[in-house]
Chain A
Amino acid sequence: MEAIAFYILAVMALFAALMVVLHKSPAISAVYLVLCFFAVAGNYVLLHAHFIAAIQILVYAGAIMVLFVMVIMLLNLDEEVRQRRKLGLLATLSVLSGLGVGVLILLMTWKPAAQAVPKTLDPQTFGATETVGRYLFTTYLLPFEAASVLLLAAIVGAIALSRRSEHKPGEGGDR
């Protein structure tokens, strides 16, 4: 049962990821990316990370993708024109992907990893919001607070960058 769910989700994620890379229109790529994020969230549920799965859907498939779609709408892009790549780059890429596949096959047939089974964990509490929340607010409280400062810096940075450049410094008021 778990294996069937994993294979369905894995094929879905890989197909969506490939379509993100291969599709010509950025808008369609964004929609496939949402599908990919949902499939990865399903994998998180399989791994008993329920809280992270919910956050994945809220933050990635929700907030981040809305941002992407808004920017695509603002830019009003047409389809990317394909130009012929130089052969050198293509050859390098093929060698790299070949190497990657080799490493992956090694990984798949590696015995210790193949036999890795989860240690004893309580399936009721392992990935639950309470467990993760207690962990974040006790052991890792300082990084958690630092994350809030980082988000504030990102907000200020995004607003500062997206202001109109012809805006005069002394004027203010429009944002």
Chain B
Amino acid sequence: MMHVGLNHFLFLAAALFSIGVIGVLTRRNALVIFMCIELMINAANLAFIAFSYYLADITGQGFVFMSMVVAASEVAVGLAIILALFRNKESVNVDDIRIMKW
């Protein structure tokens, strides 16, 4: 059986990140865009953990811990913003929210 190396995990992380980017660029629902951002954060975390294992250094896991704290607070505030937006605009379609567009 093939040996699983660092590049396999990096490949998976890059693929997950690309899928997240495509989701952010193509979807118009603010909630789904948010989920795709979570997907991208997860891909970055996976790369951190993979490097942490292959370099035998625990620092990467500490970084992922901090990244999860940031992601959790980001989701809490972001979803509150989306809720406030929906209350004012009756829509979560990002094309309808263009008041800041020049």
Question: A residues touching B (Cβ–Cβ < 8 Å)?
Answer: 1-4, 6, 10, 13-14, 17-18, 20-21, 26, 29-30, 33, 36-37, 40, 43-44, 46-49, 51-52, 55-56, 59-60, 63-64, 67-68, 71-72, 74-75, 77, 80, 83, 85, 89, 93, 96-97, 100, 103-104, 107-108, 110, 113-121, 126-127, 131-132, 135-136, 139-140, 143, 147, 150-151, 153-155, 157-159, 161-162, 165
Chain A residues, CB < 8 A from B6: 113, 116
B25-47 vs A, Cβ < 8 Å mask (1 yes, 0 no) = 11111011011101100100110
A55 contacts B26, C-beta separation under 8 Å? no
How many contacting A-B pairs (Cβ < 8 A)?
A: 222
A37-B42, A71-B79 given as contacts; is B49 within 8 A of A100 (CB)? no
Contacts A21-B26, A77-B31, A131-B58 given; indicate if A116 touches B5 (C-beta within 8 A). yes
- Give the distance to chain A from B89, nearest Cβ to Cβ, in Å: 11
Known: A36-B16, A93-B26, A140-B62; 6 extra A-B contacts, CB below 8 A, are: A20-B23, A60-B38, A97-B18, A104-B15, A116-B54, A154-B77
Interface size, chain B (Cβ < 8 Å)? 71
Q: A117 vs B10: C-alpha distance in the bound complex, in angstroms?
A: 14
Give A64's nearest chain B residue, CB to CB.
B75
Tell me the complex Cα distance, A13–B9, Å. Answer: 12
Chain A residues near B73 (CB-CB < 8 A)? 150-151, 153-154
Once A93-B26, A127-B61 are accepted as A-B contacts, the answer to whether A117 and B18 lie under 8 Å apart by CB is: no
Offer 11 A-B interface pairs, CB within 8 angstroms, sorted by A. A2-B4, A6-B8, A33-B35, A36-B16, A43-B46, A64-B38, A68-B79, A75-B92, A135-B62, A147-B66, A151-B69
Q: Which B residues from 43 to 88 make CB contacts under 8 A with A?
A: 45-46, 49-50, 52-56, 58-59, 61-62, 64-66, 68-77, 79-84, 86-88
Task: Tell me whether B31 and A63 are in contact (CB under 8 A).
Answer: no
Contact of A59 among B36, B49, B72, B88 (CB under 8 A): B72
> Which residues on A sit within 8 Å (CB–CB) of B83?
71, 74-75, 161-162
Q: How far is the CB of B32 from chain A (nearest CB, A)?
A: 6
